[in-house]
Amino acid sequence: MSDVIDLLRGMVAIPSVSGEEEACRDYVATWLEDHGIAPRVIGRNVLAVIEGTAPRPDDERGLVFCSHYDVVPVGPGWTRDPWDAALEDGLIRGRGSNDAKSSIAAMMVAAASLDPARIAGRVVLALVCDEETGGEGIEIMLDDLPPATACVVGEPTELDVCRGQRGLLSASIVVAGQSCHASRPWEGANAITAAARDVLAVDGLDLGEPHELLGPATLQCTVIEGGTRRNVIPGECTISLDGRPTPTCDNKTMVARLKAVVHGEVHVRSDRYVPVVAEPDAEIVRLARAASPTGAVRAFGGVSDLFHLRNIGGVVMGPGTSKASHAPDEWVAVSQVEAAVDAYRKVTSAYLAEQGSSKTARDALKGSQA
């Protein structure tokens, strides 16, 4: 069994639902220490820095590797022990195996294999909690990160390079009516009927042209709540909304267009997650593409910690597939995890090549592929 598979299975065997990651955090920190990398525990997170000793262009240059070891609850539909970390038919099973402990393990093993004498800059491991829920993960670590100039966020992308992601808008529409006895509906106003009209208005909303990378902005009604009893005309109905903005229809534009077509009162719960897009010719995009076994560049389908690292700039790239994320009997292919170690090692060697020159970076990448 390879080092990365052994490490990953050890992590998967430790339950780490968001808010309960301490045991997995300690396992990660101990592994790093045992492999010569000094860990720093910050809350339920682990931060580790490897300072290269090769000549560097400046003291800012660095590459952050960030992923999460928190997982969603197990939920229904499982046919096996979700923490057994079984190795079967080339797959590792268990909650978190795919999303995203496989990225964590590959990043750790890749970092432990680096020779600081050949690194011109710093490698930063930000291994975090609370990605699934938000709160005390990478958000609270930003001030503790040393200077860095690019990042790679580990999420299941089948090792495609994702240079952007849509934003997130969480909102609701509260539709007011007037309660009365259901046998005399003319004495009141049915809030559910009015809400149905707003649902159709949202469904027909024009959100503009698709973005060239991220595709169309979307806004969907996902939960509807109204009424108190079968024989009472509902006096209020609430529609929950999930919006995914893009640069062509950003968060503010989406809210404005929503308010223009519905009759209920719009309440914005959260609109802080804005779209993030790196330029196609950005250095980290080019080098990550060269390091990826697929060479594919696309958008990430969800929202990741790339948002919190947007001022550094980078890509999302990791082993696994989104089809297995949060699913019963979650799994990841051994071949993907082992390929991720190689990809992370290659992008590090290229990005932090001596002097940081593009020629030297290309040479370093070619050498790592030999």
Q: What is the pLDDT along the chain (370 residues), one digit of tens a residue?
A: 699 999 999 999 999 999 999 999 999 999 999 999 999 999 999 999 999 999 987 889 999 999 999 999 999 999 999 999 999 999 999 999 999 999 999 999 999 999 999 999 999 999 999 999 998 999 999 999 999 999 999 999 999 999 999 999 999 999 999 999 999 999 999 999 999 999 999 999 999 999 999 999 999 999 999 999 999 999 999 999 999 999 999 999 999 999 999 999 999 999 999 999 999 999 999 999 999 999 999 999 999 999 999 999 999 999 999 999 999 999 999 999 999 999 999 999 999 996 544 444 444 444 444 3
Q: pLDDT at position 362, please? A: 43
Asked if residue 209 and residue 106 are part of one domain, the reply reads: no
Give tens-digit pLDDT for 81-112.
Answer: 999 999 999 999 999 999 999 999 999 999 99
CATH number at residue 123: 3.40.630.10
How many domains are there within the chain?
2
Asked if residue 200 and residue 90 are part of one domain, the reply reads: no
Asked if residue 155 and residue 284 are part of one domain, the reply reads: yes
Q: Which residues contact 213 (CB under 8 A, 6 or more apart)?
A: 163, 164, 277, 298, 299
* Helix-then-strand count for the chain, H and E: 9, 18
Pairwise CA distance, residues 227 & 233, whole Å: 7
Asked if residue 322 and residue 219 are part of one domain, the reply reads: no
Q: pLDDT at position 57, please? A: 77
Asked if residue 229 and residue 266 are part of one domain, the reply reads: yes
Asked if residue 328 and residue 237 are part of one domain, the reply reads: no
Pairwise CA distance, residues 28 & 34, whole Å: 10
Q: How far is CA 309 from CA 42, 60, 110, 214, 316, in A?
A: 17, 15, 21, 18, 11
Asked if residue 265 and residue 150 are part of one domain, the reply reads: no
- Considering 248, 273, 298, which residue would you say is the last residue of a domain? 273
Q: pLDDT at position 357, please? A: 42
- Considering 251, 273, 295, which residue would you say is the last residue of a domain? 273
Asked if residue 18 and residue 127 are part of one domain, the reply reads: yes
CATH number at residue 198: 3.30.70.360
DSSP 142: G
Asked if residue 317 and residue 269 are part of one domain, the reply reads: no
Tokens standing for 237? 């109905």
Q: pLDDT at position 368, please? A: 40
Asked if residue 32 and residue 130 are part of one domain, the reply reads: yes
Containing domain of residue 40, as a range?
A: 3-165+276-369
Distance of CA 253 to the CA centre of its chain: 24
Asked if residue 215 and residue 293 are part of one domain, the reply reads: no
Angle at 168 between CA 165 and CA 169, to 5 degrees: 155
- Considering 273, 304, 332, which residue would you say is the last residue of a domain? 273
Asked if residue 39 and residue 157 are part of one domain, the reply reads: yes
Q: pLDDT at position 360, please? A: 42
pTM of the predicted model as reported, rounded to 2 decimal places: 0.92
